[in-house]
Amino acid sequence: MELYIRPDYEIVRNESRCTVCRVCERQCANELHFFDPATGRMRADESKCVNCHRCVSLCPAHALKIVKTDDAYRENANWEAQTMHEIYRQANTGGVLLSSMGNPKPYPVFWDRLLINASQVTNPPIDPLREPMETQLCLGRRTVKAERDEHGRLKDTLPPQLKLSVPVLFSAMSYGSISYNAHESLARAAAELGTYYNTGEGGLHRDFYKYGKNTIVQVASGRFGVHKEYLETAAAIEIKMGQGAKPGIGGHLPGSKISEDVSRTRMIPQGVDAISPAPHHDIYSIEDLKQLVDSLKEATEYKKPIIVKIAAVHNAAAIASGIARSGADIIAIDGFRGGTGAAPTRIRDNVGIPIEMALAQIDARLREEGIRDNVSLIVGGSVRSSADVVKAIALGADACYIGTAALLALGCHLCRSCHTGKCNWGIATQRPDLVKRLDPACGCKQLVNLITAWKHEIEEMMGGMGINALEALRGNRLMLRGIGLTDTELRLLGVRYAGESL
Amino acid sequence: MKIRANGMHYAALNAAVRDSEETDIEISGCGGQRYLGAGLADRKIFVYGTPGNALGAYLNGAEICVDGNVQEATGDTMNGGVIEVHGSAGDATGYAMRGGKIFIEGDVGYRCGIHMKAFLSQHPAIVIGGRAGSFLGEYQAGGTIVVLGLHTDGKPVIGNFCGTGMHGGEILLRCETLNVALPAQVRAERIEGPGSEESAALIREWCARFGRNAAPYLQAVYYRLTPNAENPYRQMYTPN
Ligand code: SF4
Ligand code: SF4
């Protein structure tokens, strides 16, 4: 007999409003709403509810709400209901717990303990509506030896750069983990915004080669979909060493999610598991990493910047220092709150460190060693707003990767059930009937709106500080003050406490 | 075109190969230059000496023949073409290759054919004359690996952990007895001859390239290794 796990949510239907139109029944991929002919009313099997709010959002009569159940176990601060349920689940199945999206645990969010400066009196603020603000930037290696040709003219020895009109890129999400329409939305928005989206490790769909100029392609241990044309089409190539949601753990897309189209994009047979374990089996050192970096540069004739992506882990600063010497042009660091299509719960919730700490330490370390300009830094792993972006840049980042925020703009309701493949919002699914719920034209528009709004906000915050170029904000930690932080946290972040003047 | 590679930097050597007007290129004095032929499609490269790591990485149809040994990661993520080595190869030969063929006259190191995959009409193959090191065909998802066991040092034809995580493709081992433990996800069957016309063709091609009489190889006993399941990890998870 299986241990019973009581549902976490209750579906409250306002019977006086419900017209029995059965929209909720049709909309729910978890098939929990049903019509009861005996009573002529709608009913619901709450055990199937993932709280994605699809039915609530689409009910034309506004008759539905989902509430947290008030059914309570005996109160226990140590053994919460979720903890008990996890034990029941494992006792029932013997399986490794699998979750999705970012770490939901109440760890400190350091973004929320950093405050941004503004100018008063002596160094006047700048009005972004009146004055030009520079939010364009380039990512890549900046250290080059000046060389002159025989006529004494400077030669262009600048290594390849990524040019962005705003310091935000869409982070790696593979086709397979998210849908075709989600990918198309991201690709179109990146092109319209003058930034980049990232294929993840699932290959690049034929239809999206036309967005190549705005595409970063990934090379992971399983090398799915990696071939000459894929590398050549992209604007940059990212070597995936790690992912914030599951440091030390690889990707595993179950065969059931490998549809015909996904299989063609990954270049693997349909229905077979796609396994990309954590280690690259030819990388055991920085020298080995350099070999992969160099082989990709050779294969693309030194025309593309190479990004190395790592998860934020305890020794991130030392690792980044090695990567900055490996020939990589850009380092991407993914914090432990980063999202995922599927990760073992225990890894997601317990492994890695906050991106704020990793970033502050990496930037400081690279500066100390005089190699900061060897690389650009992109950070992700829960960047939620333009304020987070500004704080990240002041802590030393060049740009930010957003994943979860981008999916939210596409309609994701953070139900954290992507691993089931039944995303009711057409994002984390391959089921054609669900995928078509996300219209790429709308998705693209929403993403463009979001980033355009963030850009204005970034300009406003910069203007407030009296700063008119991102370059002047980068690593400018004097623009930040900590609040509610310990001395150690302040030291690691390299910021002063709120109220502490120069 | 002939290139004397002695002491040349790999980037210069690769650029010379890439930019050559001629498709046939002969490189002599090769000594450790890496990434030779990376991503190339329409070249025939003949190498004297010992190329460095990642020979023919992302190879896309070119043919490379080496008169000598090769180092690690030969044919990394190869998509098409042929690599023929008149000598032995280091670790991770044919890492994640998806198409094309690699023929090694001698032995290969660890993790040969790791992540090898097949795709539509692309069916990659590695044929090894001697023996293979540990972790042969790890995570193999497709394609064919043949180990002919011509080595004379008396060691088993494969090392430990052959086919760990294997979930597609096949491995053919020419040996009378298989006295090496295999992981649970690998099934082994003893067959007379190479089992299929495709495998026989691969063996014939290897023999032709290295000047051997194919008959004894086609009549020999082989062990054919295939995965037990295509989804070895399906049962491992519980949605939370
Ligand atoms: S969608 Fe709303 S009105 Fe329609 S059946 Fe469901 S609860 Fe009733
Ligand atoms: S992508 Fe879909 S399944 Fe995943 S959290 Fe968002 S709404 Fe839920």
- Sketch the domain layout of chain A as residue ranges: 9-95, 137-497
Q: Whose CA is nearest to atom 4 of ligand 1?
A: A21
Domain range enclosing B100: 2-237
CA A83 / ligand 1 centre spacing (Å): 33
Contacting residues of A for B58, CB less than 8 Å apart: 226-228, 231, 295, 299
Res. A273 pLDDT band, cuts 50 70 90: confident
Please write the tens of the pLDDT for every residue from A318-367: 999 999 999 999 999 999 999 999 899 999 999 999 999 999 999 999 99
Give me the CATH number covering residue B7: 2.160.20.60
Contacting residues of A for B81, CB less than 8 Å apart: none
Geometric angle at alpha carbon A407, from A247 and A261, rounded to 5°: 85
In the structure, which protein residues have their CB atom closer than 6 angstroms to any atom of ligand 1? Answer: A 13, 18-24, 42, 59, 61, 63-64
- How confident is the model at residue B110, as a pLDDT? 96
Please write the tens of the pLDDT for every residue from A138-192: 999 998 888 899 999 988 888 999 999 999 999 999 998 999 999 999 999 999 9
Three-state SS for A97? strand
- How confident is the model at residue A155, as a pLDDT? 87
Residue B165 identity: G
CA B80 / ligand 2 centre spacing (Å): 38
Half-sphere exposure of A74 (CA within 13 A, CB side): 0
State the Cα–Cα distance between residues A95 and A74, nearest whole angstrom: 27
Q: Is residue B234 pLDDT above 70, yes or no?
A: no
Please write the tens of the pLDDT for every residue from A27-80: 999 999 999 999 999 999 999 999 999 999 999 999 999 999 999 999 999 999
State the Cα–Cα distance between residues A334 and A103, nearest whole angstrom: 12
Q: Which residues contact A243 (CB under 8 A, 6 or more apart)?
A: A172, A249, A251, A309, A311, A334, A338, A340
Please write the tens of the pLDDT for every residue from A374-407: 999 999 999 999 999 999 999 999 999 999 999 9
Phi and psi torsions of B65, nearest 5° = -125, 130
State the Cα–Cα distance between residues A137 and A142, nearest whole angstrom: 12
Phi and psi torsions of A486, nearest 5° = -80, 170
Say yes or no for a CB contact (<8 Å) between A417 and B141: no
Q: Average pLDDT, stretch B58-81?
A: 96
* Lowest-confidence region among A10-19, A111-120, A137-146, A297-306: A137-146
ipTM of this complex: 0.90
Nearest to A336 by CA among A360, A319, A353, A324: A353
CA A15 / ligand 1 centre spacing (Å): 9
State the Cα–Cα distance between residues A461 and A456, nearest whole angstrom: 9
Of B35, B60, B72, the CB nearest to A227: B60
- How confident is the model at residue A274, as a pLDDT? 78
Res. B231 pLDDT band, cuts 50 70 90: low
- How confident is the model at residue B232, as a pLDDT? 63
Q: Which residues contact A290 (CB under 8 A, 6 or more apart)?
A: A325, A326, A327
Q: Average pLDDT, stretch B134-148?
A: 95
Half-sphere exposure of A169 (CA within 13 A, CB side): 34
Q: Which residues contact A222 (CB under 8 A, 6 or more apart)?
A: A201, A250, A251, A274, A275, A276, A277, B96, B115, B139
Geometric angle at alpha carbon A277, from A274 and A279, rounded to 5°: 150
Residue of A nearest to B59 (CA): A228
Mean pLDDT, chain A, rounded, equals 94
Q: Helix count (H) and strand count (E) of chain B?
A: 3, 12
Q: Is residue B233 pLDDT above 70, yes or no?
A: no
Contacting residues of A for B57, CB less than 8 Å apart: 295, 298-299
Q: Which residue has the tokens 């930034």?
A: A195
State the Cα–Cα distance between residues A228 and B78, nearest whole angstrom: 9
Closest-approaching ligand to the CA atom of B239: 2
Q: Whose CA is nearest to atom 6 of ligand 1?
A: A24
- How confident is the model at residue A313, as a pLDDT? 97
Long-range contact list for B14-22, CB < 8 A, 24+ apart?
A: B14/A298, B14/B38, B17/B43, B17/B45, B18/A301
DSSP state of A52: -
- How confident is the model at residue B235, as a pLDDT? 63
Structural domain count, chain B: 1
Q: Is residue B90 pLDDT above 70, yes or no?
A: yes
- Ligand 2 pocket test, pick from A27, A55, A415 with the greatest ligand atom count within 8 Å of Cβ, gives A415
Complete DSSP assignment for B49-90: EE--SSTTTT-EEEEEEEES-B-SSTTTT--EEEEEESS-B-
Residue of A nearest to B115 (CA): A222
Q: Average pLDDT, stretch A290-317?
A: 96
The whole-angstrom distance between A348's CA and the closest CA on chain B is 12
User: What are the structure tokens assigned to A249, written together?
Assistant: 């753990």
- Name A139's bridge partners: A162
Q: Classify residue A162 by burial, with Cβ atoms within 10 Å: 0-12, 13-18, 19+.
A: buried
State the Cα–Cα distance between residues A204 and A187, nearest whole angstrom: 11
The fold of the A137-497 domain, in CATH, is TIM Barrel (3.20.20)
| Element at A199 (helix H, strand E) | none
Q: Crossing angle for the helix pair A355-368 and A386-394, nearest 10 degrees?
A: 30
User: What are the structure tokens assigned to A360, written together?
Assistant: 């502050």
State the Cα–Cα distance between residues B118 and B137, nearest whole angstrom: 13
The fold of the A9-95 domain, in CATH, is Alpha-Beta Plaits (3.30.70)
Cβ proximity of B209 and B165 under 8 Å: no
Please write the tens of the pLDDT for every residue from A228-260: 999 999 999 999 999 999 998 887 776 777 888
Nearest to A502 by CA among A477, A467, A473: A477
